[in-house]
A and B are shown apart, each in its own frame.
Chain A
């Protein structure tokens, strides 16, 4: 059971916006930086956001990250069919001395 909780699924129509929350605690999100990963069907995870809100080169600005207290959020605007994937948050947990991933959220484009 992960210490980072995400909703199992979110959905929206093409062109709309979705927000994916990642809820943690004081030993993880509360004192660590959050990263987000996109996993398209049958492929390896890909880094989308690091250091809470930074995008690697090549990631469109439709993807954004934010953090407040012990929660983080991934936002996707202008939703496209190619965004259908599983999304995971991740961070270091100082109590567990381990990198932890969220439970994962499946994004469906209606």
Chain B
């Protein structure tokens, strides 16, 4: 069974960079060309917001609402992918989830496996 686990600091200072890593176990990040690896966040008491995805070949896509502050990278040798979010503010306080996206055709995609989530608080 595929498992995803987020890790990283739970507290980040305003204006600094939030960094999280997702470790994938029970399967390879490179095992299928239809797999993309994504980050989604959820502010306390609010809904889900897609941050972006990466393919094992390095191709990325991002939510433009984050104004280019997000960068997702992949480390296939360690079966991990990571998120960096720069210039954070209190509005970036959220539970951050990593998840696998299946893309079977254009506009035909969904998230089938999710990590348990990591709460990141932005505060001085």
Residues of A near any B CB (own CB < 8 A): 2, 31-33, 35, 37, 43-47, 50-51, 56, 88, 90-92, 94, 96-104
* Residue positions of B touching A, CB distance < 8 A: 38, 40, 47-50, 53, 61, 63-65, 97, 101-102, 104, 107-112, 114-117
A33-B110, A47-B111, A94-B107 as given contacts; A99 in contact with B50, CB under 8 Å: yes
Question: A43 to chain B: closest CB distance in Å?
Answer: 8
Among A31, A43, A101, point to the contact of B49 (Cβ < 8 A): A101
A50 touching B48, Cβ below 8 Å: no
Contact B109 A2 (CB under 8 A): no
Contacts of A104 in B (CB 8 A): 47-48
Residue from B97, B104, B109 within 8 A of A99 (CB atoms): B109
Q: A96-B64, A98-B63, A98-B64 are in contact. Are A51 and B110 (CB under 8 A)?
A: yes
Closest to B112 in A: A47
Task: Please give, as numbers and ranges, the residues of chain A lying within 8 Å of B47 by CB-CB distance.
Answer: 2, 88, 101-104
Contact A45 B64, CB 8 Å, known A32-B108, A92-B109, A104-B48: no
Q: Can you list 18 residue pairs at the A/B interface with Cβ under 8 Å?
A: A31-B107, A37-B48, A44-B114, A44-B115, A44-B116, A44-B117, A45-B48, A47-B111, A50-B102, A51-B104, A51-B108, A91-B107, A92-B109, A98-B61, A98-B65, A99-B101, A101-B40, A101-B48
Give the chain B neighbours of A100 by CB distance below 8 A.
50
Q: List chain B residues, Cβ under 8 A from A37.
A: 48, 111
